[in-house]
Amino acid sequence: MEVAGDLEAKIESLLNVEKKMRLDNDVAGTKKAVTDILQLCYEAKAWKTLNDQIVLLSKRRGQLKQAVTAMVQQAMQYIDETPDVESKVELIKALNSVSAGKIYVEIERARLIKKLAKIKEEQGQIAEAADLMQEIAVETFGAMAKTEKIAFILEQVRLCLDRQDYVRAQILSRKISPRVFDADTSKEKKKPKEGDNVVEEAPADIPSLMELKRIYYELMIRFYSHSNDYLEICRCYKSIYEIPSVKEDPTQWIPVLRKICWYLVLSPHDPMQSSLLNSTLEDKNLSEISHFRLLLKQLVTMEVIQWTALWNTFNKEFDNEKNMLGGSLGDKAAEDLRQRNILVVSKYYSRITLKRLAQLLCLSVQEAEKHLSDMVVSKALVAKIDRPMGIVCFQAAKDSNDILNSWSLNLEKLLDLVEKSCHQIHKETMVHKVALKV
């Protein structure tokens, strides 16, 4: 009781000092008085008194902004020293109520919310943690370091993915431009001019820009895996592969390069997939995993690939990667390969019988027709099936105007050729006449 009474007496004395300094508009004196009060409560381990004093000091009439900032920063150092989780949460909530709506302590408030969300997550309350984090829009904080902003947004994205809120995760992820990771960090920082916002240094526990890049693309892989967007997953792995620390370590880049190859196989055939395929084939590191080089070379070559032969060759490799999509890759790869084979056939044939198409695809006639129909519906291919005749036509039906235009174009080309030929004949005749006269 004596210790408690002694503490109250000291606090009362310092409150009088704080009042005098505040009314005199003495910034340094007010800051010292406020921090001394908090220090007394901390040394006495009076956590409830500390919370009460934080709220009391912030509500005093005409309280200086600098004093509130110093008080919040001082109290934040005590959070990790609290004896239990309950005391920690109460202190964070007290500081949170003080910093709410005050732009001069917005960074401190963001850090407090992050700490509180971490506690909620550890208690298994992921939805509450995600809701807490979404209250803060750090992209508007001018004084916060770039890496700290990115780390905060990535934490928001991660919590949304953990609660399977994929729509909000996508919205939050768009706040980060991938170009921000390509910024040259080696350049010297310019000294701020007068009137400019001074950007604070990021805390020591914030990862570097390249580490954040990896975390960002790993989260995006989780997001795209939900919608089975294999091409985007492949592009994410490609970006991870380009990180210098990954590219220098074979134990890191070999698994990433393997995944790039697999997702290229699984991706639907389009210009972006073709571009990634060719750029990956040009990579010298691919020679270290020769199996995958052969696989990609087969995909690039415009020839029909026999699925049974390919499966026998890469069966073991497929089984090694069964955890990639949470199941066997064989069915999905076979589906994509059949679609690719149909596209290859359409380039070489204008008309083909269904029976012959089924033979090339190693399928029954009914299955070949189903795969072909699916591709036509998805507009990946233009084709018509004459079912009574059993013939597939890969040419699009031309409009009568298009046919007339092509004829007129051909006639123009023919007349140009005739004119050039006549000119050459006339030229040769004149040369010979001159030669005879001489």
How many domains does the chain divide into?
Answer: 2
Which residues have a Cβ under 8 Å from the Cβ of 382 and sit 6 or more positions away? 376, 394, 395, 396
Q: Which of 102, 129, 147 is the last residue of a domain?
A: 102
- 189 pLDDT band (50/70/90 cuts)? low
What's the pLDDT at 220? 93
DSSP-based helix, strand, coil % in the chain, nearest 5: 70, 0, 25
Q: Does 5 map to a domain?
A: yes
What is the spatial distance between Cα 77 and Cα 53, in angstroms, rounded to a whole number?
16
Q: Does 319 map to a domain?
A: no
Q: Which of 102, 118, 143 is the last residue of a domain?
A: 102
Domain around 82: 1-102
Q: Which of 102, 120, 150 is the last residue of a domain?
A: 102
Closest-CA residue to 115 (of 143, 91, 92)? 92
Alpha helices in 227-353 (DSSP H): 230-241, 244-247, 250-266, 271-281, 290-300, 307-320, 330-348
Q: Does 155 map to a domain?
A: no
Q: Which residue would you say has higher pLDDT here, 395 or 240? A: 240
Percentage of residues of the chain with pLDDT beyond 70: 88
pLDDT at 341 over 70: yes
C-alpha distances out from residue 381 to 15, 335, 343, 384, 408, Å: 80, 15, 7, 10, 28
User: For residue 351, what is the domain's CATH number?
Assistant: 1.10.10.10
Closest-CA residue to 289 (of 315, 263, 253)? 253
Q: Which residue would you say has higher pLDDT here, 336 or 32? A: 32
Q: Does 135 map to a domain?
A: no
Q: Does 221 map to a domain?
A: no
Q: Does 268 map to a domain?
A: no
pLDDT at 412 over 50: yes
What's the predicted TM-score (pTM) here? Answer: 0.77
- What are 110-148's pLDDT values in tens digits? 888 888 889 888 888 888 888 888 888 888 887 788 888
Residue 380 burial class via C-beta count within 10 angstroms: exposed 0-12, middle 13-18, buried 19 and up: middle
Q: Does 158 map to a domain?
A: no
Mean pLDDT over all residues of the chain? Answer: 82
